[in-house]
A and B are shown apart, each in its own frame.
Chain A
Amino acid sequence: MSEKKSLTREARDVELVQLYKKYGQTTAVNGISLKIPAGSYCCLVGPSGCGKTSTLRMIAGHEDVSEGSILLGNKEINEVPPAKRETAMMFQNYALFPHLNCRDNVAFSLKMRGVEKNERQKVADEYLELVHMSSFAERIPAQLSGGQQQRVALARALVTHPSVLLLDEPLSALDPFLRVKMRAELKRLQVELGISFIHVTHSQVEALALADQVVVMNQGNIEQAGTPREVFNQPKSEFVAKFVGGHNLLKAKFEKKLSESEALLSSQEGFSYLVPWTAPDTPSGPVTFSLRQDCIRLDQPSEETPPPNEVRGTVTAVEYKGTSLSVTLQLDGEQELEVTLPEQLLGQLDVSYGKQLAASWKPQDLCLLN
């Protein structure tokens, strides 16, 4: 491990301060601020057009900053040329030079710096070794599979001794099986090298699986930044809850406060929700909650009127997913509820299509959204 450490520069913090990117009239990045601690794995995630790639390209220096600044360490790097930034970029389609073999691809930046041929080939071989591609050194990119090309691209990026590695959708061109495998490898490399990886992706699964810090972006803004657990358990907005998936959104009207920390709300369908409520204000409009699909319990409905945090509905869809079971309940009215159940429950409860069921949850599982 100590030997591999020597392959990289010292890790540094990256900080974005009120960063804007404007293309004519359109604003791609709308004044975002973010701190990425040294040696951490950060995923910028969001739908296409959310500004995540523009942000990454600005950090790399392939896109000019419209306003604001990018700090690396404590130095502003807005005007520093890409090759002098201590960042390295791994491109979406890897951008390997098609006319050069793997070794020469990896050695490219060394050649540009005037490193003598034997020396640079030796270094290139070390990096090919790091990504387990030594035996392919003589091949040209067209003779490699997607996953192999990616490893070479990774080696080519790392050869510049970056303190930050920037990855633009690195896994999107791979098949699902390889994607999971390379995901683990990226994480392993990041931990071993100890530098920051900033990884742009549109897949929330990838972001949650890899990141120390997940940054959910939408329309040029950061919707939420936090650990995967924070983002998944306490989504701040409807957008985040929908984007990370696995959540139900419940709308309700505020009724009354029951105590210092609890309030009662009612839904359009006539169900009542008991929720933790510490805020002193009492909103008049509807409020939205997110509720994790796997925090819901299903039971046979009883005869009585449902207590708070229990709703009744009809099963409209059941999907068997191997390790889990996904059930869609149609409540009276528009509202649907997606429920993820452990697979083992299948023998104990009849969840077949058209069944009437009761769904319930604990008050603390409801998360108030802005």
Chain B
Amino acid sequence: MDRQSPLSTLLQISPISLILGFFLVLPIGTILIVSFWDYNDFSFFPDFVWTNYSDALGSNVTYKTYLNTFWYAGLTWFFTFLIGFTVAYFLAFHIHTTRWQIVLFLICTIPFWTSNIIRMISWIPFLGRNGVFNTMLQSIGLIDEPLEFLLFSDFSIVLAFVHLYALFMVVPIFNSMMRIDRSLIEAAIDGGANGWQMLTNVVIPLCKPGIAIGSIFVVTLVMGDYITVRLMGGGQRASVGVMMWNEISLLLYPAAAAHAVVLLAVVLIMVSLMMRVVDLKKEL
């Protein structure tokens, strides 16, 4: 192989270095630096203190908030997985023409053509105390009093999360399923597998990478979210994102930065655990 001149090597690596430096290293570096700054009631200034971390990690509120956020993430993961797997399975194995697969797949993406906020807000008049759903239930006489738990509750938060992120589960699982050689399905039938055995012995093991990628998307998105929890929780529910948002609105940037670093570490640990379940390198 020819030896390349240092200049051409530099030129070749510079685009990716610039992009990574500008969009990854710079912002995270800034957060990391700011997380060690000090602040008072009026301003924050360069320093090197651990108080932001000791405040964050020393407070019970932080742990409760994390627990709550894990709860949302877990529920959202569970429901998006159920929906995502079912939809992907239907698209991949029950729709036999590529044309219809594409059509139905596009239909799944239609909600994504609007903004997150609009998709969320559309639930409010539907689920509200005097909303469409309650009114309907009352008019057919199923209930006397409006159901309170529908809106500004954990229910509405998880519902909105599932609505927002189900597609992130559908896409990678569908992709994994489409890569399953159809003769494997026939081989399993030949071996006497019934529908359930096929699912547990062949389809799910071969979809693991898709499930892992989808799970990483959903879990990281929920872990970092604040707007959904704020809107759908009516300001009454807490998540890590909401906690940071509150600090930012009080101009406590160093404290928010420390929380951000902790969250980043937590999410990285979660992702690495998920990566451990499947060998993603093999699949990409």
Residue B205, interface by CB 8 Å: yes
Residue B145, interface by CB 8 Å: no
In the bound complex, do residue B206 and residue A108 qualify as a contact, i.e. CB atoms below 8 Å apart? no
Complex Cα gap A160–B190 (Å) = 9
In the bound complex, do residue B188 and residue A108 qualify as a contact, i.e. CB atoms below 8 Å apart? yes
Give the shortest distance, in Å, between A265 (CB) and chain B (any CB): 51
30 chain-A/chain-B pairs, Cβ below 8 angstroms: A60-B190, A62-B186, A62-B189, A62-B190, A82-B186, A83-B192, A83-B193, A84-B192, A89-B186, A91-B186, A91-B187, A92-B183, A95-B183, A95-B186, A95-B187, A96-B187, A97-B184, A98-B206, A99-B206, A108-B191, A108-B201, A109-B190, A112-B188, A112-B191, A112-B192, A112-B194, A112-B197, A113-B192, A156-B191, A160-B192
Within 8 A of B (CB), among A60-93: 60, 62, 81-84, 88-89, 91-93
- The bracket for how many chain B residues form the interface is 10 to 19
Residue B124, interface by CB 8 Å: no
Complex Cα gap A88–B190 (Å) = 7
Complex Cα gap A109–B194 (Å) = 11
CB-based nearest A residue for B197 = A112
Give the shortest distance, in Å, between B222 (CB) and chain A (any CB): 29
Residue A22, interface by CB 8 Å: no
In the bound complex, do residue A109 and residue B191 qualify as a contact, i.e. CB atoms below 8 Å apart? yes
Residue A179, interface by CB 8 Å: no
Binding site for A on B (CB under 8 A): 181, 183-184, 186-194, 197, 201-202, 205-206
CB-based nearest A residue for B183 = A95
CB-based nearest A residue for B204 = A99
Contact flags A148-178 to B (C-beta < 8 A → 1, else 0) = 0000000011001000000000000000000
In the bound complex, do residue B191 and residue A83 qualify as a contact, i.e. CB atoms below 8 Å apart? yes
Q: Which of A60, A98, A108 counts the most B-chain CB atoms under 10 A from its CB? A: A108
Complex Cα gap A92–B187 (Å) = 11
In the bound complex, do residue A109 and residue B186 qualify as a contact, i.e. CB atoms below 8 Å apart? no
In the bound complex, do residue B189 and residue A97 qualify as a contact, i.e. CB atoms below 8 Å apart? no
Complex Cα gap A57–B201 (Å) = 23
Complex Cα gap A97–B205 (Å) = 10
CB-based nearest B residue for A89 = B190
Residue A362, interface by CB 8 Å: no
Residue A111, interface by CB 8 Å: yes
In the bound complex, do residue B190 and residue A82 qualify as a contact, i.e. CB atoms below 8 Å apart? yes
Q: Which residues of B contact A62 (CB under 8 A)?
A: 186, 189-190
- The bracket for how many chain A residues form the interface is 20 to 34
Give the shortest distance, in Å, between B208 (CB) and chain A (any CB): 8
Q: Which of B183, B190, B191 counts the most A-chain CB atoms under 10 A from its CB? A: B190
Q: In the complex where A98-B206, A108-B201 touch, is A83 in contact with B187 (Cβ < 8 A)?
A: no
Complex Cα gap A150–B194 (Å) = 25
Give the shortest distance, in Å, between B224 (CB) and chain A (any CB): 32
Q: Which residues of B contact A109 (CB under 8 A)?
A: 190-192
Complex Cα gap A112–B191 (Å) = 7
Q: Which of A89, A99, A108 contacts B205 (CB 8 A)?
A: A99
Complex Cα gap A89–B190 (Å) = 7
Give the shortest distance, in Å, between A339 (CB) and chain B (any CB): 44
Complex Cα gap A81–B191 (Å) = 11
In the bound complex, do residue B181 and residue A95 qualify as a contact, i.e. CB atoms below 8 Å apart? yes
Complex Cα gap A60–B183 (Å) = 13
CB-based nearest A residue for B282 = A142
Give the shortest distance, in Å, between B149 (CB) and chain A (any CB): 42
CB-based nearest A residue for B206 = A99
In the bound complex, do residue A83 and residue B206 qualify as a contact, i.e. CB atoms below 8 Å apart? no
Q: Which residues of B contact A95 (CB under 8 A)?
A: 181, 183-184, 186-187
Q: Which residues of B contact A60 (CB under 8 A)?
A: 190
In the bound complex, do residue B183 and residue A160 qualify as a contact, i.e. CB atoms below 8 Å apart? no
Q: Which residues of A contact B189 (CB under 8 A)?
A: 62, 81-83
Q: In the complex where A98-B206, A99-B206 touch, is A83 in contact with B190 (Cβ < 8 A)?
A: yes
In the bound complex, do residue A111 and residue B183 qualify as a contact, i.e. CB atoms below 8 Å apart? no
Q: Which residues of B contact A111 (CB under 8 A)?
A: 201
Q: Which residues of B contact A89 (CB under 8 A)?
A: 186-187, 190
In the bound complex, do residue A97 and residue B197 qualify as a contact, i.e. CB atoms below 8 Å apart? no
In the bound complex, do residue B206 and residue A160 qualify as a contact, i.e. CB atoms below 8 Å apart? no
Give the shortest distance, in Å, between B191 (CB) and chain A (any CB): 4
